[in-house]
Structures are given as structure tokens and as C-alpha cells.
A = this chain, B = another copy of it.
Amino acid sequence: MTQEPRYGAGLWHFASYVDRYATDGYGPPVTTLEAIDLAGKVGNLSVVDINYPFNPPGLPVGEVADALKRNNLTAIGITPEIYTREFCRGAFTNPDAGVRARAIELVSEAVGIARELGCDYVKLWPGQDGHDYPFQVDHGQIWSYAVDGLRSLAQAYPDTKFAIEYKPREPRVSMFFSSAAKTLLAIEDMGVGNVGILLDFGHSLYGGESPAEAARLIHSRGLLYGIDVNDNFRGWDDDLVVGSVHLTETLEFFHTLRECGWEGVWQLDQFPFREDSVEAAREGIATMRAIHRALDLLDVPALREAQGRQDALAAGKIVRRALLSSQAAGG
């Protein structure tokens, strides 16, 4: 049995949500400290990725650090909220130079917080960058805005790693950082060494990528800064419990990471709108543990041989045997 990975979660997993219909929220608001305490109750979490500004906004970072400590958690990343009202027409690609500057400023604050909390990276989730309508933007211009903005950030904070989380769409109808390959091209244009990618399994899946293939591609360029998992029905970023729909592709994703020698945190990005957030995290971790056991059950030499022949049936049989025995092998 190989050593288990460390498990993590976005702290928003333990928040409450609103959407355009349930405008009063799917539950009462949850503060940052409350969310950390909920994360602590899960039992197998080691790290969290924390939104900034905290809730409430004035909360001292020392209190956050204390809350993490008492729950045996550390902060792996800080996610500045560059997607709220102020930035609803874009953060880095906003047509207004003042708003673009304010986005840089907010990320800069997040850099400071990330340092204080000893994070691995500042995560950039540019969900409002892009466009909604045909003819709305000059695509060359927003490419420049995005590349220039991130370059300036990266150059200003050369010791900080910035991880872009790409997604095809939502909240913007068409997001600028939409796929692994396009994000890699943009990073290339930045010409810096501290901007990489946070690969979200669900974003990749519903963007029509093979998440395993995307992981391999990003890792081959040395830019796989982190990963998130969850699940969906391939039409939207449903952020369901990991493995609830795509068990085999989730296994393939983690198998590929192991083949690459990538050893980072297995992190949850679930949105349990209508479920208990602690129980949803526990079910996600239970599934990841089954996946981890399945990895150990895989006949890897035979699988590599089958893949060398591109023999889907032989590979499928090996995978079925491991995956459909993984629970029995566990607790």
C-alpha cells in the first residue's frame, strides 16, 4: 500500500451559496472562521484554499491563522475574489483601466496574506474575464490585457507562484482562460517563471478535454501548480461530489498524476448547495481513498503494455478489476 496523499478543500466548500433564483441563499451565511471550523470537523483534511477578502472583511489574518492551527489545517492557497460586482465586467480584461488596476491591487493584497499564512500559491480565478456576446470584444485587445496584467503581477512578486484556474465559462458566458492549451499559450506570452495552472478536473471535463491528458500536457511544461476534483454531467460546472458520475476518468486522472510523479494535494472543489458540507467532504474523501486503493490495485505494467498497443479492451479490463474491487479492499 502506497502512502496516502494529503487531502484538501477550497474553503468555499463550507460556505453557503446564492444563485440567481435562490437569492436568499441556500443557507445562512458562514464566516471564514466558521468555515475553517467546519473544515476541521471533516477529519481527513490537511489543507484549505481560502477566499480573500475574508468574511467579515476586516478579520485579522492572525485570527485566521489561529483557527487553522486549532483545526490542524494549513493554508495551501489564497483566492482573491476578483469576480464580485466591482469586477463583473472583467478583472484583468476589464475595459476600464481603473478596474484593471484595482484587480491587481486586490491580488497584491492576497500575496501579502499568502505570505503570512505560508501558502504555496495565490490562485487566480478570472471567472469574469472574457465576453458574453458575438462582436462584443476585440479578441486581440483582451489577450493583451490578460497577458500584460498577469505579467506585471508576476514580475512584481517574483517569489510568489500564481496559479490560474481555467474554465470554459461561468460566470462569464465565455471565459478568457478557457482551456489548458490556451492558458499555456497565454502564460508563454507572459514570459515569466512564476505563473502556472490549477487544474480543476470538472472544468476540464466539461470543457471537452480529457482531464488526464490536460494534466499530462500542463505537467510536461512544469506548470501544474495544483489540482481540484469534483464531478459534473459534462454540460456545466456542477461541482458535485468527486466520483459521483465519472469514476473511471477520475481514476485515470490520478493514475496519470502518479505516472507523472506529481505528488501534490488531492483537493476538493465541491459546492454542496443542498447537502451538509461536512458530510459532502467526507463522502468526497471516502471516494478519493477508494480511488487511491484502486491505484494500488492497478496492474501498471500490464496497463502500460496495453496502452503501448492502444488496446482499449485490455486496458479497460485491467481498470475494471482494480476499480470495482477498491471498496472491498478498504475499510
Contacts and interface: CB of A to CB of B under 8 A. Distances in A.
Interface of A: 17-27, 83-85, 88-90, 95, 127-128, 131-141, 143, 168-171, 173-174, 178-182, 184-185, 207-208, 210, 212-213, 216-217, 220, 233-236, 238, 240-241, 243-249, 252, 255-256, 259, 271, 273-276, 279-280, 283, 286-287, 290, 294, 303-304, 307-313, 315-321, 323-329
B135 A319 contact: yes
Given A143-B217, A168-B208, A136 B24 contact: no
Most chain B CB atoms below 10 A, which of A131, A208, A304: A208
A309 B252 contact: no
Nearest to A273: B88
Contacts of A312: 131-133, 135-136, 241, 244, 274-275
Identical chains bound together, number = 4
B21 A303 contact: no
A128 B24 CA distance: 14
A276 to B, nearest CB: 7
A220 B308 CA distance: 37
B173 A238 contact: yes
